[in-house]
Amino acid sequence: MRSSEIVIYTDNGNAPVSKLVGTACTIGIQSFISNALFDLSGKCTLEMDWPLESSLKNGDIPVAKEGGKRKILVALGGEIFTSRVWQACSENMGGFVEALVDFIKDNQFDGIDIDWEDSEALTARNYDAVAFLSDLTLALRARLPAPDYVITHAPQAPYLDKAWQGGPYLEVMKRAGSALDYLNIQYYNNPWWVGDSGSEQAAKVAGTTGSPAFATSIVGLVEQWLPVEKLLVGKPTTAQNAGSGFLDTPDLCHDVIAPLVQKYGSKFGGVMGWQLAESPSSPDLALDWIASVARTLD
């Protein structure tokens, strides 16, 4: 029987994924591949941010797996990955995929998380974002077969809203959802799609209150045909890890997670936390958050 996932990111050199040892986390994500450069032939060279580079130098990836207890993915993108670079990736898909697959296998990762946040492309239309994300996912899956490798995406909540630029990730899921394991949906930093209080987030994040369900909530997305087992509630682990959307852990568990567990049981995809450290530079870890979420999912 499947169980709901607990996914934890880290993008802090003081808190590499190896610090997940001993926790209930089932998938750890080390961030970020932060840039891609292409020569005239289309060959791609990937660049890393310092936390990812440090984790590789220190041998954190195999340690973090804890003898097979969890999968460890590498994150691609994030807010510093520019629209110009995403466009270049779309124009050199073969070289880009080759570089990503080599990076994953050479560094003993169990897959990849695609953190595409290029809202600019949806208005500038400098490349076809939906086609790119769909084709990238399918090409990676062809080289990284399941279940040995995991492929996730981390869309912001508006990307799943038909009323916002057509809901680009709804179309990505139609085209490439079969090749994708999970959506780590970012329910933060977009106040209209998230809410503030526990009761607001019960409606806008969980979707277990209000009728009809809020469109980008978990219940709302399931009602639009997305499989609940692929949908994860992504939340900041502390107020310092996001501009908005943080909910105190007891309220998060009571108002958002527990109602989804009650409604869907172990079919519910799970919960994602950004991030392991209590702030982008803190050495202190959000271990109590992970433990509380795990108890609520159990």
Print pLDDT tens along the chain (298 aa).
579 999 999 999 999 999 999 999 999 999 999 999 999 999 999 999 999 999 999 999 999 999 999 999 999 999 999 999 999 999 999 999 999 999 999 999 999 999 999 999 999 999 999 999 999 999 999 999 999 999 999 999 999 999 999 999 999 999 999 999 999 999 999 999 999 999 999 999 999 999 999 999 999 999 999 999 999 999 999 999 999 999 999 999 999 999 999 999 999 999 999 999 999 999 999 999 999 999 999 9
Domains of the chain: 5-297 (3.20.20.80)
**pTM of the complete model:** 0.97
Instruction: For the chain, give the secondary structure using H, E and C.
Output: CCCCEEEEEECCCCCCHHHHCCCCCCEEEEEEEEEEEECCCCCEEEEECHHHHHHHHCCHHHHHCCCCCCEEEEEEECCCCCHHHHHHHHHCHHHHHHHHHHHHHHCCCCEEEEECCCCHHHHHCCCCHHHHHHHHHHHHHHHCCCCCCEEEECCEHHHHCCCCCCCHHHHHHHHHHHHCCEEEEECCCCHHHHCCCHHHHHHHHHCCCCCCCCCCCHHHHHHCCCCHHHEEEEEECCHHHCCCCCCCHHHHHHHHHHHHHHHHHHHCCEEEEECCECCCCCCCECHHHHHHHHHHHC
